[in-house]
Structure 1
Amino acid sequence: MTFTPLRVGAGALAAVLLATPIVTAGSGAQAQDRAEPVEQTPLEQVEPLSPPEPQVRFVASETVQEITPEQAAADDVAASDAATLAELVAETDTSALAPEVRCLAQAIYFEARGESLEGQLAVARVIINRAESDAFPDDYCSVVTQRSQFSFVRGGRIPEPGAGAAWTRAQAVARIAHRDQWDSPAGDALYFHATHVRPRWAGRMTARATINRHIFYR
């Protein structure tokens, strides 16, 4: 859960870290204040992300993922006349996702597939905002696999989602978020947690939005 982009087509990918927290299938956060549950709620909940402690920035070994011309073209901004987010999701092609956009889609799937499309977009917005911030790694995959941020990540690896409508929607939302085609109430949020917990760090943050079962902060 309580889970900002180097646009894949924009240049090289490097990783940056600031020990901080993130978001639906239950995430943990680094150096996190464990929140006491207020009530028991079903899966698809995010654990609170705790704010960073030391402001340490470092660049990991450089990695370059090859992007095919098809992927680069597919992730270019595409104009749309969609009147709603649902319409935009329905018309968005989910083929040929670039590796970074796929990481974003996987995070959406495992953290927020039980949320509304707006809730999924908000989770994607947090990851993109982190990738754009100097306080976090510089690309989606590194943000998602940052230590102790997302509980679905095991040993630095993101599991493969199952095929189905939920995965297709997550891929569409990821591409829409990456293209910045739809505004999210989460705005510039860098953190979020499930509404059924009360992390102590939340009192030091400014709430940006409450969407479904998540509260988003900056």
Structure 2
Amino acid sequence: MNTTDSITITSIDSVTLDAADPEAAAAFYRDAFGLDARVRTRAADAASEGFRGFTMSLVASQPANVTALFEAAVAAGATVLTPLTKSLWGFGGVVQAPDGAIWNLATSTKKDTAPASREFEHLVLLLGVEDVGASKKFYVDRGLKVAKSFGSYVDFATPSSPIGLGLYKRRALAKSAGIASEGSGSHRIRIDGAGDPFVDPDGFEWGAAEH
């Protein structure tokens, strides 16, 4: 797979995560978060150490939903990286799924307005990159539009996509997840959308979903 200027990105249909036991990983996402079609799993044993360079986020409408998602994840076997915490920006916590993927569960709302549920409003993939400006240009050149951009962070506008996409300086992303930024080997993720497969400047694989 090669990087090519002819690729046009329209949306992210799903992500596929590498797992030693893909059936168990799929069961975790189904049981903890109610995810099925948007998060897929595949059997893979590519070498990977430390931070894999990305995080997934579930953004909910209220703290009670974040708590419900967090508790369901832990009950299903996730490891707590950052406990649920109130902050100036809202409320949230970070867990690591049994397959190794890191999940940020959060809301910017500070008060509950409805009974707790595991519903969420947005599923977002954040890619940790070495050069935010270069990666931003790479994706803009391939058709994505920027919704927000400041310093070490870029949020792309993906209104028709079930999964949002953002870029974050790798070190800052690892810090936000509560882990060391060092890591090597496979990212252990494929980003699934339409078009021919390619690899971005930071080694993230894009391809078509396997049905």
TM-score, length of structure 1 as denominator length = 0.26
Structure that is richer in helix per residue: 1
